[in-house]
């Protein structure tokens, strides 16, 4: 398994920038192009960094609601996970809840953290 390229996120430490590049001058121009609101701020006196909000935001951007492999694909049942292309749904036909399926508790779990 190959690891992806290292990306300089333009992180700010206090008031000064810390260049993590091995080649000096390589990413200096890129740091100036990043909007200050898009940079992460980590106070130097903090021992731990909570990036859960940033990861949650990145996951929300990457998730597509109706992801199917092709337009003719029926997808998976949100309750039992059955492949609707090859079989019928095993769960009973019940009135659909507002948030149903295996991810129904995800919102409340994410808000607790």
Do 42 and 63 sit in the same domain of this protein? no
Task: Give the tens place of pLDDT for each residue, 36-76.
Answer: 666 666 677 878 877 888 888 888 877 766 667 788 888 88
Do 4 and 33 sit in the same domain of this protein? yes
Residue with tokens 């430490």: 13
Beta bridge partners of 42: 13
Identify the CA nearest to 85 among candidates 71, 103, 97: 71
Do 23 and 5 sit in the same domain of this protein? yes
Task: Give the tens place of pLDDT for each residue, 78-106.
Answer: 778 788 889 888 776 554 555 567 777 77
Do 43 and 55 sit in the same domain of this protein? no
pLDDT of residue 45: 81
pLDDT of residue 16: 46
Which residue range(s) make up the domain with 18?
1-49
pLDDT of residue 91: 77
Do 78 and 45 sit in the same domain of this protein? no
Do 57 and 111 sit in the same domain of this protein? yes
Phi-psi region of 91 (alpha: psi -120 to 50; beta: other; left: phi over 0): beta
Residue 44 · residue 55 · CB < 8 Å: no
State how many domains the chain has.
Answer: 2
Do 16 and 32 sit in the same domain of this protein? yes
Do 74 and 103 sit in the same domain of this protein? yes
Beta bridge partners of 83: 76
Do 109 and 56 sit in the same domain of this protein? yes
Mean pLDDT for 9-38 is 56
């Amino acid at each position: 398994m190959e690891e992806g390229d290292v990306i300089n996120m333009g992180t700010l430490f206090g008031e000064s920038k810390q260049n993590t590049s091995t080649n000096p001058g390589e990413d200096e121009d890129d740091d100036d192009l990043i909007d200050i609101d898009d940079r992460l701020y980590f106070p130097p006196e903090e021992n731990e960094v909570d990036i859960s909000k940033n990861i949650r935001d990145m996951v929300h951007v990457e998730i597509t609601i109706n992801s199917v492999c092709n337009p003719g694909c029926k997808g998976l049942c949100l309750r039992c996970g059955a492949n609707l292309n090859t079989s019928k749904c095993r769960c009973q036909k019940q009135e659909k809840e507002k948030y149903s399926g295996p991810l129904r508790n995800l919102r409340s779990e994410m808000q607790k953290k």
